[in-house]
């Protein structure tokens, strides 16, 4: 049973206090038809709103089956409207973008009823109202009487205990009014129907009881005092609107404004298009760089020098500073022992390490090269005269020791201008290198006895030219413990110990190769250098130098201590006593195998003391890291600038969502009247911005994908690089998610505003 005791409600309008209800006390039975009459402003609608839980009394108490409602929370009031109340409004208050059936189902959706059950109940309610055949129509396609029947069907479908009708016949003709009254009269047999009306004639004919109001007071009650029924307690089932339901409501609303939604989504997608294209270009350039690195940096060796940087390149500056600030504002000098710096590491290249490297799996290492300090003594003959080859005129570089196919380094890194890499397989074959512009120094041309002043020279002219590699015992003469170059160069040239070298090819570093910038000169096989080291290390001059404390070529004594020892070692290395290399260059089979080579080197260091560890330099990784960092830096800057448009899009979404809140104010009131919570209202508008964000993100991705076609065509024309702009599927998913988040964030404040709207005021909105 419903009972009101001393209910008072006032409104403050521009400082004027108006009493809507002034001490109203009335009790209602569980069923029956009660009509509430009175002039405008007498408090009839306010009474209905308080009974329906849309408004709150300033004082007094309302009881439901003996349970006071003054302690109800907002959630309990929402549940009360959904569980117990069915509203029938004068203006029908149907949601235009939903079908008739969906309008009827709405209250049951909030109560969590299953789809099949609510469809069944909606169908039964519509058939009971005689409009079952109109279930799939929109409210705008029906007459006023039919829409009021839909409103009644919506009110009764959830099977509430109380039907509240506010002027249900006010907008209808007399015939239709009587039909509606007949329906309400029939409902009153099982439910409590409270109707506010100005039509006293209809009230007299249909109502079981008439309440008359004037100036906020109950002035007449046609029934005797209502007999109180046994109190059975009161229990509510909480309402809840799922996000899927909110999505459905918002999606239907959006489809009624396709053009507006499309323009909004297109505008919001601009930021996504910009960022997507930047990421596509970054991804494409990254793939181009990776491809280039795989083709070129794969041939870069992993280098082990006697002195190596002991820190990661990215930490180099912090290691150099070693905790000291840059440009300190003090006038002082800090003593610094570079030998104790943690920046450098001294690699001790032992025979153990050399053998370990040489034992590497041939499937991951294609070759090795050793750095040597040994001098190369070379003679040539021109015009019947034997002359020395000066190191200042001609540089000699070493080809790596090859573990696979012969001349693979030559074929991979060089273009053959004369000769070829197939027939040139002898250990004593050497190769003349010209620069990327096909130029060769005149001094080198003179070594071949050719005209250095000629405009051009046929590269075939260099093929077959012979040079002599002279061992120490032929090159040097012992003059009482001081060794000098033999004065008889002809005899040295003709010596059986001299090694004859033949120019087998003229080569030029490939454009995509690491050797493109190599100085012109000779390429000699490392195998030949190893043979020469083996011979020279056993020479007389080396033996003499080992026993002497002076430089046997100059007679100058070495310094005392470690410095002198280092000077002596350098002198021996120059003479060819270079059994252990000064550096090691390890060439991976390809770019992918490089990581396995690095892991192999790391295994060597496992368990060793710091001093015994080998620190290597991966130049390919350094270059790769540098290029990646530069590309990432540029990408981040561009993305940040493009993100400004996302902020603008978010603000635009907020403005449009707020306009949607204003347009749908009455819908907000309807949902609240049906028991929707504030968070449900918020969820409806969040769902709308979510849908807009998804559309905007998808539009942005599609347009970006289309834009990559002309972008790639233009870039190919400018750079000859194919498919530079390549969209990453992971990036597209992230960008759509970002678009959704920014859209929801932009609409969050308007959604909160919508949730806080007064349901009574919302229902009155036009």
* Residues 68, 28 share a domain: yes
Over residues 29-40, the mean pLDDT reads: 91
Over residues 180-209, the mean pLDDT reads: 90
In a domain, 550, yes or no: no
In a domain, 582, yes or no: no
In a domain, 609, yes or no: no
* Residues 273, 214 share a domain: no
Residue 418: pLDDT band by 50, 70, 90 thresholds? very high
What pLDDT is recorded for position 318? 47
What pLDDT is recorded for position 314? 47
b/e burial code for range 195-221 (CB count within 10 A of at least 16 → b): bbbebeebbeebbebbbbbeebebeee
In a domain, 13, yes or no: yes
Q: Which residue has the higher pLDDT, 339 or 75?
A: 75
What pLDDT is recorded for position 449? 87
* Residues 147, 22 share a domain: yes
Over residues 224-230, the mean pLDDT reads: 56
* Residues 188, 92 share a domain: yes
Q: Which residue, 729, 700, 633, is CA-closest to 282? A: 633
Q: Alpha-carbon distance 719 to 476, whole Å?
A: 57
Beta bridge partner(s), residue 617: 303
Lowest mean pLDDT among 272-286, 361-375, 559-573: 272-286
Alpha helices in 297-441 (DSSP H): 316-321, 351-358, 408-413
Question: Could you say which of 516, 532, 548 is where a domain stops?
Answer: 532
In a domain, 138, yes or no: yes
What pLDDT is recorded for position 739? 87
Question: Could you say which of 497, 532, 567 is where a domain stops?
Answer: 532
Residue 517: pLDDT band by 50, 70, 90 thresholds? very low
In a domain, 326, yes or no: no
Q: Give residue-wise pLDDT tens across range 581-607.
A: 888 888 888 777 888 888 999 999 998
Q: Give residue-wise pLDDT tens across range 159-172.
A: 888 999 998 888 78
Over residues 82-109, the mean pLDDT reads: 87
What pLDDT is recorded for position 497? 92
* Residues 161, 21 share a domain: yes
Q: Which residue has the higher pLDDT, 686 or 590?
A: 686
* Residues 643, 730 share a domain: yes
Residue 192: pLDDT band by 50, 70, 90 thresholds? very high
Helix (H) or strand (E) holding 416: strand 414-418
Question: Does 504 have pLDDT greater than 90?
Answer: yes
What pLDDT is recorded for position 660? 85
CA dihedral of 613, 618, 619, 624, whole degrees rounded to 10: -140
* Residues 199, 151 share a domain: yes
Residue 322: pLDDT band by 50, 70, 90 thresholds? low
* Residues 219, 269 share a domain: no
* Residues 486, 430 share a domain: yes
What pLDDT is recorded for position 317? 44
Provide the percentage of residues in the chain whose pLDDT is more than 70.
Answer: 91
Task: Tell me the chain's radius of gyration from C-alpha atoms.
Answer: 48
Q: Locate tokens 């069923």: which residue?
A: 31
In a domain, 595, yes or no: no
Q: Which residue, 327, 399, 568, 374, is CA-closest to 471? A: 374
Over residues 107-134, the mean pLDDT reads: 87
Total number of domains constituting the chain:
3
| The residue count for the chain | 766
Over residues 233-242, the mean pLDDT reads: 68
Lowest mean pLDDT among 395-409, 537-551, 631-645: 631-645
Question: Does 513 have pLDDT greater than 80?
Answer: no
What pLDDT is recorded for position 207? 92
* Residues 207, 79 share a domain: yes
Residue 431: pLDDT band by 50, 70, 90 thresholds? very high
Question: Could you say which of 481, 515, 532 is where a domain stops?
Answer: 532
Expressed as residue numbers, the domain containing 434 is: 376-532
Which bin fits 79, alpha (ψ -120 to 50), beta or left (φ > 0)?
A: alpha
Question: Does 360 have pLDDT greater than 70?
Answer: yes
Over residues 719-725, the mean pLDDT reads: 77
Over residues 31-51, the mean pLDDT reads: 91
Q: Alpha-carbon distance 494 to 510, whole Å?
A: 37
Residue 319: pLDDT band by 50, 70, 90 thresholds? very low
What pLDDT is recorded for position 232? 56
* Residues 11, 91 share a domain: yes
Over residues 276-285, the mean pLDDT reads: 81
Q: Quick count: other Cβ atoms within 10 Å of Cβ 646? A: 24
What pLDDT is recorded for position 671? 86
Lowest mean pLDDT among 238-252, 366-380, 537-551, 653-667: 238-252
Q: Alpha-carbon distance 203 to 193, whole Å?
A: 12
Over residues 257-278, the mean pLDDT reads: 81
Average pLDDT, rounded, for the chain:
84
What pLDDT is recorded for position 342? 55
Residue 361 per-residue DSSP state? -
- Per the CB < 8 A criterion, the answer to whether 196 and 48 are in contact is yes
Question: Does 632 have pLDDT greater than 90?
Answer: no
Strand order in the sheet with 85-89: 85-89, 162-166, 192-196, 32-37, 209-214, 217-221
Q: Alpha-carbon distance 199 to 35, whole Å?
A: 10
In a domain, 353, yes or no: no
Question: Does 245 have pLDDT greater than 80?
Answer: no
| 22 three-class SS | strand
Q: Which residue has the higher pLDDT, 231 or 587?
A: 587
What pLDDT is recorded for position 37? 93
Write down the number of H helices and E strands in the chain: 24, 27
CA atoms within 13 A on the CB side of 446: 11
Q: What is the CATH number of the domain that holds 142?
A: 3.40.50.300
Question: Does 320 have pLDDT greater than 60?
Answer: no
- Per the CB < 8 A criterion, the answer to whether 422 and 407 are in contact is yes
Question: Does 495 have pLDDT greater than 90?
Answer: yes
Residue 516: pLDDT band by 50, 70, 90 thresholds? very low
* Residues 160, 26 share a domain: yes
- Per the CB < 8 A criterion, the answer to whether 149 and 103 are in contact is no
Over residues 550-579, the mean pLDDT reads: 87
Token code pair at residue 373: 């300090």
- Per the CB < 8 A criterion, the answer to whether 188 and 208 are in contact is yes
């Amino acid at each position: 049973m419903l009972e009101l005791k001393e209910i008072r409600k006032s409104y403050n309008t521009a400082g004027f206090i108006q009493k809507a209800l002034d001490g109203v006390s009335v009790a209602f039975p569980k069923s029956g038809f009660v009509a509430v009459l009175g002039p405008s402003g007498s408090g009839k609608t306010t009474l209905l709103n308080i009974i329906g839980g849309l408004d709150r009394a300033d004082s007094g108490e309302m009881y439901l089956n003996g349970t006071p409602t003054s302690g109800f929370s907002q959630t309990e009031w929402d549940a009360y409207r959904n569980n117990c109340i069915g509203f029938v409004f004068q203006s029908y208050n149907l949601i235009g973008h939903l079908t008739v059936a969906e309008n009827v189902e709405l209250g049951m959706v909030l109560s969590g009823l299953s789809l099949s059950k609510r469809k069944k109940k909606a169908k039964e309610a519509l058939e009971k109202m005689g409009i079952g055949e109109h279930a799939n129509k929109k409210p705008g396609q029906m007459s006023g009487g039919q829409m009021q029947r839909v409103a009644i069907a919506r009110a009764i479908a959830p099977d509430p205990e109380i039907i509240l009708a506010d002027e249900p016949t006010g907008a209808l003709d007399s015939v239709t009014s009587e039909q509606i009254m007949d329906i309400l009269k029939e409902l009153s047999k099982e439910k409590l129907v409270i109707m506010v009306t100005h039509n006293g004639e209809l009230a007299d004919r249909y109502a079981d009881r008439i309440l008359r109001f004037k100036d906020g007071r109950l002035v007449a009650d046609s029934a005797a005092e209502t007999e109180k029924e046994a109190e059975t307690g009161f229990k509510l089932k909480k309402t809840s609107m799922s996000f899927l339901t909110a999505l459905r409501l918002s999606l239907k609303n959006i489809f009624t404004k396709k053009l507006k939604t499309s323009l909004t989504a297109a505008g919001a997608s601009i930021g996504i298009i910009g960022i997507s294209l930047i990421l596509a270009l970054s991804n494409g350039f990254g793939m181009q760089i990776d491809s280039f690195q795989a083709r070129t940096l794969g041939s870069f060796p992993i280098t082990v020098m006697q002195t190596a940087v002991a820190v990661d390149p990215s930490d180099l500056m912090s290691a150099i500073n070693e905790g000291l600030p840059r440009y300190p504002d003090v006038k002082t000098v800090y003593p610094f022992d570079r030998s104790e710096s943690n920046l450098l590491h001294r690699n001790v290249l032992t025979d153990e390490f050399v053998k370990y490297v040489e034992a590497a799996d041939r499937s991951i290492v294609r070759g090795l090269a050793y750095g040597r300090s040994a001098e190369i003594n070379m003679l040539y003959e021109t015009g019947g005269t034997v002359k020395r080859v000066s190191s200042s005129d001609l540089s000699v570089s070493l080809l790596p020791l090859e573990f696979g196919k012969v001349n693979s380094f030559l074929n991979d890194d060089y273009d053959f201008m004369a000769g070829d890499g197939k027939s040139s397989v002898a250990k004593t074959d050497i190769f003349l290198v010209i620069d990327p512009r096909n130029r060769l120094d005149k001094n080198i041309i003179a070594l071949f006895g050719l005209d250095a002043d000629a405009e051009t020279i046929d590269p075939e002219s260099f093929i077959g030219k012979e040079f002599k590699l002279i061992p120490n015992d032929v090159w040097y003469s012992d003059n009482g413990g001081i060794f000098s170059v033999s004065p008889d160069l002809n005899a040295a040239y003709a010596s059986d110990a001299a090694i004859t070298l033949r120019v087998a090819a003229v080569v030029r570093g490939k454009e995509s190769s690491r050797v493109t910038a190599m100085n012109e000169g000779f390429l000699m096989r490392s195998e030949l250098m190893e043979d020469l080291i083996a011979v020279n290390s056993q020479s007389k001059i080396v033996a003499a130098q080992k026993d002497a404390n002076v430089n046997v070529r100059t007679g100058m004594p070495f310094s005392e201590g470690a410095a002198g020892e280092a000077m002596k070692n350098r002198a021996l290395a120059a003479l060819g006593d270079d059994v252990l290399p000064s550096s090691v260059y390890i060439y991976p089979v390809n770019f992918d195998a490089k990581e396995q080579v690095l892991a192999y080197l790391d295994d060597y260091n496992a368990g060793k003391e710091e001093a015994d560890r080998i620190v290597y330099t991966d130049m390919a990784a350094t270059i790769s890291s540098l290029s990646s960092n530069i590309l990432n830096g540029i990408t981040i800057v561009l993305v940040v600038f493009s993100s400004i448009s996302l902020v603008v899009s978010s603000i635009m979404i907020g403005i449009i969502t707020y306009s949607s809140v204003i347009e749908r104010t009455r819908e907000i009131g309807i949902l609240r009247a049906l028991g929707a919570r504030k968070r449900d209202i918020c969820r409806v508008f969040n769902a709308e911005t979510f849908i807009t964000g998804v559309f905007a993100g998808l539009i942005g991705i599609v347009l970006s994908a289309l834009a990559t076609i002309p972008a790639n065509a233009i870039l190919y024309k400018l750079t000859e690089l194919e498919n530079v702009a390549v969209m990453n599927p992971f990036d597209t998913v992230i960008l759509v998610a970002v678009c959704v988040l920014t859209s929801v964030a932009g609409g969050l404040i308007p959604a909160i505003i919508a949730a806080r709207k007064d349901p009574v005021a919302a229902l009155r909105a036009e």
